[in-house]
Structure 1
Amino acid sequence: MKGVTKRHWVFVFLHCFLVGGLVDSSSPFSRLLSVTSKVGNRAVLPCSWKQRLGELAPSAACHVQWATPADTVFEMDGVDKWEAEEFQGRVEVPEEKLGSGNCSLIINDVQIGDTGRYESFMVVDGERATKTKVFIQSVKLSVFDHKSFQSRGPGEDLVLDLYTRHSVRVVFQDRDSSEWSVLWMREDEDGERLQKHPASERLTMRKLKSSDEGTYKVLDERGLAVSTVQLSVEEKSTTLKLHQVLEKQAPTDDAVKSRGSALLVFSVLVTSFQINHLL
């Protein structure tokens, strides 16, 4: 009888363990959320501590922390804030919303290097005046570069968006070459054809030539691609030009009607003259 009781309790323990594991794994806090963005844009990593902590969180100043597997990214305890060096001036948690439960991390001017996994924590009071760090949410951030194909005619301008102040170089590959050449560096002064917009992250190449056709890449400090532009420089289609010329030379409907009426009157007069002559 004791053996049966022992086996029974072992079964109950395993059952509770498995059920507990399933409940925990199905919890929204254990799921890895995914956020995607493009270089230079703003990314919001969602976080809601009230759903996780309930009444355990402090009613006064909130202590929130965001970290990657390698290091802390951002931490805020009341009025005290700390940011990792590579995120200086780019990260924030909305202080006015934190008290109501919103602990989302906002990353401004996101970079390719920001791609990775982020975890949020709330630091709350524990037993014997100790602090306890409670896991809230895990978020995977994916940052992608910009890609586009553009077509211009000879003599037109090409505007290259740099997207971010972290863009430091533009390289060019001719369509018939496998080599890359440096076209622009951030410290460069404006040239006759290549000019940086004074107030925005844009670069203008003026008076395009057929030799400008190829691939342009905007790179950041790490040499990672911010954007890729494939440029085609082509004359306007000869067929299109011919069509436009024919449209200009083609008679209008009124002109066609007028010519038709004149021809009809002339035919009637000739026929009448011939009839009279025969009579």
Structure 2
Amino acid sequence: MMDRSNWISAFLMLWLIICVGSSPFSVVVHMSSKVGLPAVLPCSVASHLEFDQTPHIQWHTLSYSVFERMGPEQFQGEAYRDRADVPEELLVRGNCSLFLQDVRFSDAGIYDSYLVYGESNIKNRIFIQSVHLAVIDHKAIKSVEIGADLILDLYTYQAEQVIFQNSNETDWTVLWEKDGVINKKGHLKKRDNKLILSRVTASSAGTYKILDSEGLALSTVKVKVTEPVLTKETETLQKQSALGKATMSMPSLNLIALFLTFNLMLQMN
């Protein structure tokens, strides 16, 4: 049997767990982003700000310091150089959301945000919330007509290589490498952030994977190659052309009549 003091301690601990777990500043926010795209990790400190106060915000992962801002002054972690920001114009209104550009697989994980306060020599932090970011790859199925162009989105400058597996084979072939000379098909062209395969043939059907420097698939595209679909105008022209050829190959009615008359005259004689 627990004595009165133990019951009180247990009750207080349970109450603390319930209160902390129900606080909006302790809930882990789960979100996902596709690799190469931007992501916004939500955060708000409006209820904690005093009048004319300049917020001082920090974002951290378990292993890295991601971003820190106080007014115009900012700090970016090395792994997030030129990719992370908490816009100052939003922060002064209490929006401390972290903006990430060109999301990488290595960005996946839990991010903690803090409000920093206190004098210059004595700083304290208030934990705001945690955001769990999942980073996923791109997947697509495309259907392309023979003779048309296949466009593959690279999505990000992280793209280092494109490999291809024909529908009837098990081996993978390197078709393209960033800043390299590999171009197996001879008609691969990089334009902006896209890769263009010109004049698709039946052998172009299969699976295309875009890989990063670690060999991870940024994108997987399954391509089906189909016969060109004729428009009604094209079908009409083809039928007219075929009919014209058939007509030209047939003897004229006048010639047939002349032939029959000639045969009849020969029989009468």
TM-score of the aligned structures, taking structure 2 as reference length? 0.78
1:34 to 14, 18, 30: 30
Is the contact between residue 190 and residue 196 of structure 1 (CA under 8 Å) also seen in structure 2? no
Partner of 2:64: 71
Q: How does 1:198-213 map to 2 (within 5 A)?
A: 200-213=192-205
Q: How does 1:1-279 map to 2 (within 5 A)?
A: 7-51=3-47, 53-55=48-50, 59-125=52-118, 129-188=121-180, 192-197=186-191, 200-236=192-228
The separation in 2 between residues aligned to 1:166 and 1:59, in whole angstroms, is 42
Task: Give the aligned residue type for 1:20.
Answer: L
CA deviations 1:237-269 (Å, max 9, x no partner) are: 79x99xx56x968xxxxxxxxxxxxxxxxxxxx
Is the contact between residue 35 and residue 139 of structure 1 (CA under 8 Å) also seen in structure 2? yes
TM-score of the aligned structures, taking structure 1 as reference length? 0.75
Task: Give the aligned residue type for 1:95.
Answer: E
RMSD: 3.0
CA deviations 1:187-206 (Å, max 9, x no partner) are: 14697511111xx2011110
The separation in 2 between residues aligned to 1:232 and 1:40, in whole angstroms, is 25
Cα distance, 1:22 vs structure 2: 0.7
Instruction: Identify if the C-alpha distance between structure 1 residues 48 and 237 changes in structure 2 by more than 3 Å, giving closer, same or farther.
Output: closer
Is the contact between residue 170 and residue 182 of structure 1 (CA under 8 Å) also seen in structure 2? yes
The separation in 2 between residues aligned to 1:41 and 1:150, in whole angstroms, is 21
Is the contact between residue 208 and residue 220 of structure 2 (CA under 8 Å) also seen in structure 1? yes
The separation in 2 between residues aligned to 1:152 and 1:97, in whole angstroms, is 45
Cα distance, 1:37 vs structure 2: 1.5
The separation in 2 between residues aligned to 1:20 and 1:154, in whole angstroms, is 66
Partner of 1:258: none
Task: Give the aligned residue type for 2:40.
Answer: V
The separation in 1 between residues aligned to 2:9 and 2:52, in whole angstroms, is 37
Cα distance, 1:119 vs structure 2: 0.8
Is the contact between residue 44 and residue 106 of structure 1 (CA under 8 Å) also seen in structure 2? yes
Cα distance, 1:60 vs structure 2: 4.1
Cα distance, 1:223 vs structure 2: 1.8
CA deviations 1:22-70 (Å, max 9, x no partner) are: 111111121110111212221110111234x354xx9543321111111
Deviates more, 1:187-196 or 1:156-165: 187-196
The separation in 2 between residues aligned to 1:148 and 1:114, in whole angstroms, is 23
Is the contact between residue 194 and residue 204 of structure 1 (CA under 8 Å) also seen in structure 2? yes
Is the contact between residue 55 and residue 71 of structure 2 (CA under 8 Å) also seen in structure 1? yes
Task: Give the aligned residue type for 1:170.
Answer: V
SS in 2 for 1:167: coil
Instruction: Identify if the C-alpha distance between structure 1 residues 223 and 43 changes in structure 2 by more than 3 Å, giving closer, same or farther.
Output: same
Gaps of 5+ in 1: 1-5, 250-279
Task: Give the aligned residue type for 1:91.
Answer: A
Cα distance, 1:143 vs structure 2: 1.7
SS in 1 for 2:160: strand
Cα distance, 1:154 vs structure 2: 1.9
Percent of pairs with identical residues: 39
Count of residues in Structure 1 that have an aligned counterpart in Structure 2: 236
Is the contact between residue 148 and residue 229 of structure 1 (CA under 8 Å) also seen in structure 2? yes
Cα distance, 1:8 vs structure 2: 4.1
Is the contact between residue 35 and residue 43 of structure 1 (CA under 8 Å) also seen in structure 2? no
Cα distance, 1:100 vs structure 2: 2.0
Is the contact between residue 49 and residue 94 of structure 2 (CA under 8 Å) also seen in structure 1? no
The separation in 1 between residues aligned to 2:4 and 2:180, in whole angstroms, is 79
